[in-house]
Amino acid sequence: MTLRLYDTATRSVRDFVPKTPGKVGIYVCGLTVQSVPHIGHLRSSVNYDILRRWLQHTNHDVTFIRNVTDVDDKINARAAERGISIRDLTEETYKYFKEDVAALGCLPPSVEPRATEHVDQMKTLIERLVKNGCAYVAADHVLFEVKKMQDYGKLSKRSLDEMIAGARVEIAPFKKDPMDFVLWKPSKAGEPAWPSPAGIEAPGRPGWHIECSAMSWKHLGETFDIHGGGIDLVFPHHENEIAQSRCAFHTRVMANFWMHNGFLQVEGDKMSKSLGNFITIHDLLKDWPGETVRFTMLQTHYRQPINWTIAGLKESQKNLDHWYELTAEAKPGYLCSEVVGALLDDLNTPKAFAALHELRAEAAKGARPAAASLKASAQLIGLFQWSAAKWTSFRPASISIDERKVQRLIEARSAARAAKNFKESDRIRDELAAMGVVVKDSKDGTTWEIAR
Ligand SMILES: [Zn+2]
């Protein structure tokens, strides 16, 4: 029963052993709070939630840190564009994000540290790096000197030339080398500013990478178990985090495991505002329960790219409708060993779903232990968080239905059925179907759903 995880640093699936038995520290790079979160942002939250649920299920005390980047060039630009304060912009975006991750059934982080509340720790790290010769001051900036770190580039396995091309490095006359990256920079008028470290007189602000080294240090220590994020963060962000932390603390590693989730595409295309396929979770949740969104994301292994489609969402909704119906009366039973085995194998959720579908087939034939096991096993991956009654009463906002009329027709149909007037009851069912309503009869009465 050993959890095995893919580690980007060693390019291999390895047994996960926590640094301290029974305790696990996880740091995941969170959101830059500049605009309403889209489905790509939430993929990482759902993945690490699966990991966390498993670790907690196996009695680990998990400290889960997801940071909030609330100081950044894009935030400053966005606030200026909208004519609101940086604080108002970051608060608004952060609120959306918190609501969205909760709606997708993700457990809240142990701590959600904000970059602007950790500037002191960042400055301490910067001072250390200057003192030990890994960073230098130039033109009121502090820069990390990449050539001082022998194995820089090890995580992304790139050559220096590839890294220069990939990072679109800023060529600045004050840099010793184009690869050197910013730890601290002077603030322009109107930008957030703090007293600078390393003897710099002009007020300034941190570069992006240093905040994660500072926050992971404060909340998890100099080294910790798992660092996660999207695959796009491997270079330069994570490479630079490693350089900063290892050089400041003289450690062999920053984190023992580096986990990265894949990209997300929409109907086969890269999601972008210009393509008009930019989907925010906020909009999605008007028409679909958060669990349907979660179910859809988990159909793809976390390291693979997701192709997000409406057809996929419909399929998930259909499955969950059936699963809720089958397990409405069931108490959670035994965990299915195939589901557990799949999760232990680098969180292989598609494999877990194959086993869940088998349980569903058994439960549909009336096997009560299968329904009980389906409920317990799906709960392990954060599904079945709603009651069956809440599930069936969910109504998509974009489909307008006259609920009172539906109710009236259902009552008339029940009366026709009681009077054995099946011609009339069938006619009413067809009338409801034409309105986009599916009627479901059970021993407890009749319920209805929107046909998708
Ligand atoms: Zn980070």
pLDDT (tens digit per residue) in 399-433: 778 888 888 988 999 999 989 999 999 999 998 88
Tell me what pLDDT residue 165 has: 64
> Comparing C-alpha atoms, which of 359, 361, 383 is closest to residue 372?
359
Ligand 1 center to 234 CA (angstroms): 10
Ligand 1 center to 29 CA (angstroms): 4
Query: CB-based contacts of 161: which residues, under 8 Å, 6+ apart?
Result: none
Ligand 1 center to 415 CA (angstroms): 62
φ and ψ at 416, to 5 degrees?
Answer: -65, -40
Tell me what pLDDT residue 39 has: 85
Supply the DSSP string of 70-102, one letter for each residue. ---HHHHHHHHHHTS-HHHHHHHHHHHHHHHHH
pLDDT (tens digit per residue) in 163-209: 666 565 667 888 999 889 999 999 998 888 999 999 999 999 999 89
Cα 375 to Cα 442: distance, rounded to the nearest angstrom: 20
State whether the Cα torsion 239-245-248-249 is positive or negative. Answer: negative
Ligand 1 center to 14 CA (angstroms): 23
- Secondary structure E strands in 8-48: 12-15, 23-32
Ligand 1 center to 211 CA (angstroms): 7
Helix axes of 403-418 and 422-434: crossing angle, nearest 10 degrees: 160
Tell me what pLDDT residue 169 has: 62
Tell me what pLDDT residue 290 has: 96
In this prediction, the residues of the chain whose per-residue pLDDT falls under 50 are: none
Q: Is the pTM of this model over 0.95?
A: no
Cα 97 to Cα 282: distance, rounded to the nearest angstrom: 9
Token pair, residue 206, equals: 């941190």
Cα 213 to Cα 240: distance, rounded to the nearest angstrom: 9
Tell me what pLDDT residue 194 has: 96
Degrees to nearest 5, angle at CA 213 with 208 and 217: 150
Q: Are strands 61-69 and 23-32 parallel, antiparallel or unpaired?
A: parallel
Ligand 1 center to 99 CA (angstroms): 22
Ligand 1 center to 209 CA (angstroms): 6
Percent of the chain with pLDDT over 70: 97
Query: How many CA atoms within 13 Å lie on the side-chain side of 116?
Result: 14
Ligand 1 center to 301 CA (angstroms): 22
Supply the DSSP string of 117-158, one letter for each residue. G-HHHHHHHHHHHHHTTSEEEETTEEEE-GGGSTTTTTTTT-
Ligand 1 center to 406 CA (angstroms): 51
Ligand 1 center to 212 CA (angstroms): 5
pLDDT (tens digit per residue) in 199-252: 999 999 999 899 999 999 999 999 999 999 999 899 999 999 999 999 999 999
Sheet bearing 141-144, strands edge to edge: 135-138, 141-144, 181-186, 204-206
Ligand 1 center to 237 CA (angstroms): 6
- Residues less than 5 Å from ion ligand 1, measured at CB: 29, 212
Q: Are strands 141-144 and 135-138 parallel, antiparallel or unpaired?
A: antiparallel
Are 5 and 346 within 8 A, CB to CB? yes
Ligand 1 center to 238 CA (angstroms): 7
Q: What residues form DSSP beta bridges with 66?
A: 28
Ligand 1 center to 235 CA (angstroms): 11
φ and ψ at 267, to 5 degrees?
Answer: 45, 45
Would you put residue 420 in left (φ > 0), alpha (ψ -120 to 50) or beta?
A: left
Tell me what pLDDT residue 81 has: 87
Are 56 and 62 within 8 A, CB to CB? yes
